[in-house]
Amino acid sequence: MLESKLCQAVIEAVQNLYGLQLAEKDVSLQKTRKEFEGEFTIAVFPFVRVSKKSPEATATEIGQYVKDNLTEVADFNVIKGFLNLQITKEYWLKFLSTHQNEANFGFTKTEESEVVMIEYSSPNTNKPLHLGHVRNNLLGWSVAQILKANGKNVVKVNLVNDRGIHICKSMLAWQKWGNSETPASSGLKGDHLAGKYYVLFDKYYRAEVAEMIATGIEKEIAEKQAPLMLAAQEMLRKWEAKDEVIIKLWETMNAWVYEGFEQTYHRMGIDFDKTYYESSTYLLGKLIVEKGLSDGKLIRKADQSVWADLTADGLDEKLLLRADGTSVYMTQDLGTAHLRHEEYQPKQMFYVVGNEQNYHFDVLKLVLHKLGYKWSDNIYHLSYGMVELPAGKMKSREGTVVDADDLMDEMEKTAYEKALELGKIDDFENEEAKQLYATIAMGALKYFILKVDPQKNMLFNPDESIDFNGNTGPFIQYTHARIKSLLKKASSDLCNIAADIEILPKEKEIIRLLHEYPSVIKLAGENRSPALIANYAFELAKEYNGFYQEITILKEENDDLRNFRLSLSVFTANTIKSAMGLLGIEVPERM
């Protein structure tokens, strides 16, 4: 890459001029600010102590050395202690000619045999996927694609939390008040039907607690001793004892939910290479805990519950088995992590989980390490912030949390209304129009969520996300469609790019951005941040639109210039499609 060659040239310059040996990390290479001439800038302040000259004189000496020894450098200028390097026109034209139609430009071929595993989604089978799951799924899937683009051998996994007290709450409520209702009889998706009964359990449970408090029972005791809660706990014990009636009900209701999940995943464009189920891993977790207990690494308390004492490591005690022998979330996470390690021997295991679980993953790593599993050092929590909607924007069918299906329905409705208002679907057939606004809706949703740094909390506004101007998915989708329309009108095969044309500043800026794409992919992989890809795509689309508005393309009379600008357009469209693809966003051919 050119950036590496520039760094090496600066390293040689400093070695030959001042006798100082540098590493590539010691050279700060940045893109030149738009108000200055040049494409790459190097800060020379760190070298002044050995040059024993002013920053300006040091930058001038290094710049002259680099220009004399690197054919790609046409000239340089110095602004105080900053060396701005100008790259030759020949280099940019050769870059454009070489890569404009290259499949997977910027991607690294997958050669690593070691697996990088990434877990995302992790739903409970007592309710539908919700707004938080939307960010989780979009982030997890996109990070997986970005890691693949960096040459990693990625395995995408899901862990379905299909057992536990929360599942029993939905089951118990259906037993009591369901009247044999099914997805087919109710017209509800299976996950929404399960969610309906989870909410119903909570309604009656709260009423029981309130009645008990009214009789003088303390709230904490009432919450533990309410009849519904006791019945749910008894159902969990029966489930773990393999009670046939409970197991059959559990299998039936889970099957409803799985079908509902698959519909939602398909609509979101999300998939997995393997799905794990807590019901299959919690027993392994219990065996791991029991071994840790027999090895003296865990403690059993008087009530027979089992704990990990992490106080010496600055944490607290962590419950691993309840007094009645039933497991907790941490138990199954121990089992799942062990099973994955045995199956894949992953180099890294990433868990995409909200930042409210930061402590949980600190404990998971520490407990595994305490139990002797050295590979626990390869576990990483890809923590992300909360996502909320503006107050009053939407209501959930099942409760206070906004369902993913409701959100996507609302997005498609808004996309249709805006596309109709702007005349985007006037010349489309019905089915084609429906597909277009569905594409716009999902592009808007995914882009608006993924353009935000994963670690930040965010406010998602459906109306703002579906805007054909500004930093939005539809704006970038429209730019791609605009370029495809332009190329269709050109209706001619592109020839080789002439070497004697002049490149205008706006054209050079687009080429420089295209040249930057491999570096952006690499940085996004290192930081596990789709936001870097999203904002790059916006910057490229914005620059192209400025070029499109100000510079003649199809009507350019000079054939060489016309051909060059069409080639630039082809490369831009391909790169926009590639970048948006890493975010899981489709780009239409026309809008």
At residue 424, the pLDDT reads: 66
Give domain status of residue 486, yes or no: yes
341 and 423 housed in the same domain: no
In order, the DSSP letters of 522-552 are HHHHHHT-HHHHHHHHHHHHHHHHHHHHHS-
Give domain status of residue 251, yes or no: no
- Domain residues for the domain of 282 are 274-384
452 and 408 housed in the same domain: yes
- CA distances 253 to 80, 193, 195, 367, Å, are 70, 9, 11, 33
Give the residue from 4, 142, 115 showing the smallest Cα distance to 532: 142
SS (H, E, C) 215-269: CCCCHHHHHHHCHHHHHHHHHHHHHHCCCHHHHHHHHHHHHHHHHHHHHHHHHHC
User: Which of residues 320, 353, 384 is at a domain's end?
Assistant: 384
At residue 400, the pLDDT reads: 59
Give domain status of residue 261, yes or no: no
411 and 525 housed in the same domain: yes
358 and 460 housed in the same domain: no
423 and 526 housed in the same domain: yes
Pairing mode, strands 73-79 and 29-31: unpaired
Distance (Å, whole) CA 203 – CA 411: 30
- Kindly give the confidence (pLDDT) of every residue in the chain, 591 residues in length, as a single tens digit, with 9 standing for 90 and above: 899 999 999 999 999 999 999 888 889 999 999 889 999 999 999 999 999 999 999 999 999 999 999 999 999 999 988 999 999 999 999 999 999 989 899 999 987 788 999 999 999 999 999 988 999 999 999 999 999 999 999 999 999 999 989 999 999 999 999 999 999 999 999 999 999 999 999 999 999 999 999 999 999 999 999 999 999 999 999 998 999 999 999 999 999 999 999 999 999 999 999 999 999 998 999 999 999 999 999 999 999 999 999 999 999 999 999 998 888 889 999 999 999 999 999 999 999 999 999 999 999 999 999 999 999 999 999 999 988 888 655 544 445 578 999 999 999 998 888 877 777 666 777 788 888 889 999 999 999 999 999 999 999 888 889 888 889 999 999 999 999 999 999 876 666 787 788 999 999 999 999 999 999 999 999 999 999 999 999 999 999 999 999 999 999 999 899 999 999 999 999 999 999 999 999 999 988
State the pTM of this model. 0.92
365 and 423 housed in the same domain: no
Give domain status of residue 416, yes or no: yes
| Amino acid (one-letter) located at 427 | D
Which residue intervals of 116-218 are DSSP H helices?
Answer: 131-149, 165-177, 183-186, 190-214
- CA distances 400 to 195, 210, 260, 542, Å, are 12, 20, 20, 38
Give domain status of residue 77, yes or no: yes
Give domain status of residue 107, yes or no: no
Query: What single DSSP character describes residue 327?
Result: B
| Amino acid (one-letter) located at 319 | L
380 and 419 housed in the same domain: no
Quickly tell me which residue has 């490229």 as its tokens: 540
At residue 500, the pLDDT reads: 83
Record the tokens describing residue 9, joined without a space: 């040239």
The CATH number of the domain where 17 resides is what? 3.30.1360.70
- CA distances 540 to 201, 479, 497, Å, are 51, 10, 21
508 and 558 housed in the same domain: yes
451 and 559 housed in the same domain: yes
Distance (Å, whole) CA 111 – CA 472: 34
23 and 54 housed in the same domain: yes
Give the residue from 448, 451, 422 showing the smallest Cα distance to 437: 422
Buried b (16+ CB within 10 A) or exposed e, 8-44: bbbbbbbeebbeeebeeeebebeebeeeeebbbbbbb
In order, the DSSP letters of 451-492 are TS-TTS-EE--HHHHS-SSSSSHHHHHHHHHHHHHHHHHH-S
Task: Report CA 40 to chain centroid distance, whole Å.
Answer: 30
At residue 320, the pLDDT reads: 95
User: Which of residues 350, 384, 418 is at a domain's end?
Assistant: 384
512 and 577 housed in the same domain: yes
Structural domain count of the chain: 3
Give domain status of residue 299, yes or no: yes
User: Which of residues 384, 413, 448 is at a domain's end?
Assistant: 384
| Amino acid (one-letter) located at 212 | M
At residue 422, the pLDDT reads: 72
At residue 425, the pLDDT reads: 66
Which residues neighbour 327 within 8 Å (Cβ) at sequence distance 6 or greater?
282, 285, 286, 289, 320, 321
Contact indicator for 270, 278 with CB cutoff of 8 Å: no
Give domain status of residue 241, yes or no: no
At residue 365, the pLDDT reads: 96
At residue 396, the pLDDT reads: 47
Is residue 176 packed enough to be buried (19+ CB in 10 Å), middle (13-18) or exposed (0-12)? middle
- Other Cβ atoms less than 10 A from the Cβ of 353: the count is 19
The CATH number of the domain where 576 resides is what? 1.10.730.10
Length reported for the chain: 591
Is residue 111 packed enough to be buried (19+ CB in 10 Å), middle (13-18) or exposed (0-12)? exposed
376 and 411 housed in the same domain: no
SS3 content of the chain, % helix, strand, coil (to 5): 60, 10, 30
